Amino acid sequence: MKFSEYPYERINMEEVGRQLTELLDRLENSVSSKEFKEIWMQIQKISDHIMTESSIASVRHEINTADPFYEKEIEFWDETMPLLEAYSTRQANILLSQKDREELYDLIPEVLFQQAECRVRCFDEKIIPLLQKENSLSTEYGKLKASAQIELDGKIYNLGTIGRLMQDKDRDLRKRATDAAMGFYREKEAEFDRIYDELVKTRDQIAKELGFKDFVELGYLRMTRLDYDRKMVENYRRQILEDVVPLDRELYERQRKRLGLDRLRYYDESFEFESGNPEPKGTSEQLIQAAVKMYHEMSEETGRFIDRMVNDEMWDLLAKDNKALGGFCTSFEDYKSPFIFANFNGTSGDVDVLTHEAGHAFQYTMSTNIPCTDARWPTMESAEIHSMSMEFFAYPWMKEFFKEDTNKYYYYHFTSALKFLPYGILIDHFQHEVYEHPEMTPAERKACFRRLEKMYCPHKDYEGCDLLEEGGWWYRQGHVFQSPFYYIDYTLAQVCAFQFWDRQYRRDPKAFEDYLHLCSLGGSLSFLKLVKEAGLKSPFEDGCVRDVVKDAREFLAGFDDMSY
C-alpha cells in the first residue's frame, strides 16, 4: 500500500487506556513466561498502532504544514503522548520484576531489560520540578537562537540563512557574514552564559538527588550506554588525538594551498574549492533512477528494498511550499514500512539522502523480522553505523550521480568525515570537563573550551574574532545545551563506518555480508556487541583508529586536489 493511501484516525484515548490497564493487570499476574509473552504481544499491537497513527499525522503535517486537519491532529498527539507515558513506565516496571528473564529473551532481548533499568535509574518523582526547569531552559536556548536578526548589507538574516553567505566564494563577504553571525553571539553572550550555567547547575543537582557522583554518570545512563564508560572514552579520545589530528592538519594545509591563501582563517574553513562544491548532475528524477540502479546492482536485499520504497512511494523527497525543513527517516510499525522525508535542493546533500537516510530505512527493513518492536531500531551510536556505512558502500556508483565531479565528491565526502572526528571529540570532552567541575564560572568554561580546542583543532586561526579567541564557539552547538553527551555517538559510528570502508577498500569479500548481518540485528544487542557481530573492532580498542587512518592516507594520496 502507498503511504498516501494509509488510512488515518485518532485513537480513542479512553478506550485505549481501558484496554491497556486490563492487559497490564493481566501481565502483572501472568503465571508463565508463555502467558507473559502472549500478553506482551497484545500490548505491543496496541502501542504499534498508536505509534503508527501518530507518525502518519506527524509526517503528513511535516509534508504540508499549512494543512489545518493535520495541524489539529498534531495538537491532539502533543497532548496525548505524555498520557501514555504512565502505561509504558508501568510496563517497564513489570518487565523488570520478572524473575525468569532468560525465558523471555527470545521475545524481549536482554538489551531491552538493561535499557529499562537505565531509564528507571534516571528518574524519581522528586526530580520532576528540576526536569521541568531543565526543559524550559533548553527551550529558552532554542528561542534565543531563533530570535537572531542579523543585519548585513541592508538585509536581515537569521542564523540559518546567513550560513550560505558564510561559505560564499567572495572571501570578504564570507568574513563579514561570519563576523555578523558571531556578533549576534557576542551581543547575547550574557544570556547564553546564564542559560548554560543554570542548565549545568540544574543537571548537577538532578544527578546528586538521584545519588550519582556527578552528571557525567547520569548523562551516560540517559543515553543508555551499556558497555562503555568514561575510562574507555578517554582511550578513544587519545587515539583520535594521536592518529586523526595530525592527518587533519595536513588536510587543512592542503585546503589552504588549494585555495591559494596565506592563512586559512576561521571564515575559510568551510570553503573547500574555488570551483565550488561537488554537485549532483541531473534532475531529481534522474538521481532517484540512479539510486534504483545502484541498489539493484549492490545486492538482492537492497534491490528489493528500493523497489518497495519506489512502488509504495515511501518517501517525500522534493522541496515544496509549506513543507517543513530538514530530512529524516522514520517508520510505520503497523505496515512494517520505513519512510524518508527530505528536501532536495540540488546539492550533494540530495545524494546523501539517497545513501544515508536510505541506509537507515534499509536497516529497518532488514530488522522487521524481529518480533519485539523496541528491538528494531538501535540506540544512537549504533543506528548511525548503518547509514554512514551505506554512504561508503555506495562509492562505486557515485559516477552515476556526480559525473565529472566524482573525484571531487570522493575527496570532499571522505575528508569531511575525517575532519569531523576531532571536532566531535572536542564537544564531548568539553562536556566531561563542564559536568565534572560544575562550579566553573562562564569565563572558566570558555577558557577550558579554548584550551581543548587548541588540542583537537590546532588549525583554528581566530585572530580578529574575540569571542572565538576567548572560547565561545560552542554557543552555536545545540547539543551542548539541549542533548548533553549526545555527540560522541556520531564519531563512534563514523569510526565503525570507516572500518567498513577500509574493508571494502582492501576488497574484503565479507564486508557487505557482515553489513547485511548487522542490519538484520537491528537494536537487539548493545553497541559493542553489534560491532563485534559485524566483524568490526571496537573504536575504544588500541590501534582501531590507527589502522583506518593508515589506509585513509593511502586513499587520499590518490587525489591530486591541487587542480580543483
- In the complex with Zn ion, the residue whose CB is nearer, 210 or 342, is 342
CB of residue 64 vs Zn ion: minimum separation in angstroms?
A: 24
- In the complex with Zn ion, the residue whose CB is nearer, 200 or 361, is 361
Q: Tell me how far apart the alpha carbons of residues 561 and 412 are, in angstroms, rounded to a whole number.
A: 10
How many residues are listed for the chain in this entry? 564
CB of residue 356 vs Zn ion: minimum separation in angstroms?
A: 6
- In the complex with Zn ion, the residue whose CB is nearer, 84 or 519, is 519
DSSP summary character for residue 244? I
Q: Tell me how far apart the alpha carbons of residues 295 and 397 are, in angstroms, rounded to a whole number.
A: 9
Is residue 183 within 8 A of residue 150, CB to CB? The reply is yes
CA 152 to chain centre: 32
One-letter amino acid identity for 153? D
CB of residue 341 vs Zn ion: minimum separation in angstroms?
A: 12
Q: Tell me how far apart the alpha carbons of residues 300 and 292 are, in angstroms, rounded to a whole number.
A: 12
- In the complex with Zn ion, the residue whose CB is nearer, 409 or 490, is 490
- In the complex with Zn ion, the residue whose CB is nearer, 302 or 363, is 363
- In the complex with Zn ion, the residue whose CB is nearer, 17 or 327, is 327
* Region of 321 on the Ramachandran plot (φ > 0 left; ψ -120 to 50 alpha; else beta): beta
CB of residue 500 vs Zn ion: minimum separation in angstroms?
A: 15
- The residue whose grid cell reads 534522474 is 286
CB of residue 493 vs Zn ion: minimum separation in angstroms?
A: 8
Q: Measuring CA to CA, which residue among 178, 242, 251 is closest to residue 412?
A: 251
CB of residue 380 vs Zn ion: minimum separation in angstroms?
A: 9
CB of residue 93 vs Zn ion: minimum separation in angstroms?
A: 32
Q: Tell me how far apart the alpha carbons of residues 320 and 324 are, in angstroms, rounded to a whole number.
A: 9
Beta-strand relationship, 328-332 and 337-344: antiparallel
- In the complex with Zn ion, the residue whose CB is nearer, 239 or 387, is 387
- In the complex with Zn ion, the residue whose CB is nearer, 316 or 391, is 391
- In the complex with Zn ion, the residue whose CB is nearer, 355 or 387, is 387
Which residues sit opposite 151 in a β-bridge?
156
Q: Name residues whose C-beta falls within 8 Å of residue 26's C-beta, 6 or more positions apart in sequence.
A: 39
CB of residue 253 vs Zn ion: minimum separation in angstroms?
A: 30
- Other CB atoms within 10 A of residue 385 CB: 28
- In the complex with Zn ion, the residue whose CB is nearer, 224 or 387, is 387
CB of residue 386 vs Zn ion: minimum separation in angstroms?
A: 8
CB of residue 360 vs Zn ion: minimum separation in angstroms?
A: 6
Q: Tell me how far apart the alpha carbons of residues 409 and 411 are, in angstroms, rounded to a whole number.
A: 5
- In the complex with Zn ion, the residue whose CB is nearer, 331 or 387, is 387
Helix (H, G, I), strand (E, B), or coil: what is residue 315? strand
Which residues sit opposite 157 in a β-bridge?
150
Per CB under 5 A, residues contacting Zn ion are 387
Q: What angle do CA 223, 206, 128 make, to 5 degrees?
A: 95
Which residue's CB comes closest to Zn ion? 387
**498-513 core/surface letters (b: 16 or more CB in 10 A; e: else):** bbbbbbbbeeeeebbe
CB of residue 530 vs Zn ion: minimum separation in angstroms?
A: 16
CB of residue 408 vs Zn ion: minimum separation in angstroms?
A: 23
- In the complex with Zn ion, the residue whose CB is nearer, 338 or 472, is 338
Is residue 503 within 8 A of residue 353, CB to CB? The reply is no
CB of residue 294 vs Zn ion: minimum separation in angstroms?
A: 19
Sheet holding 328-332, edge to edge: 315-318, 337-344, 328-332
HEC assignment per residue over 448-511: HHHHHHHHHCCCCCCCCCHHHHCCCHHHHCHHHHHCCCCCHHHHHHHHHHHHHHHHHHCCCCCH
- In the complex with Zn ion, the residue whose CB is nearer, 52 or 389, is 389
Helix (H, G, I), strand (E, B), or coil: what is residue 523? coil
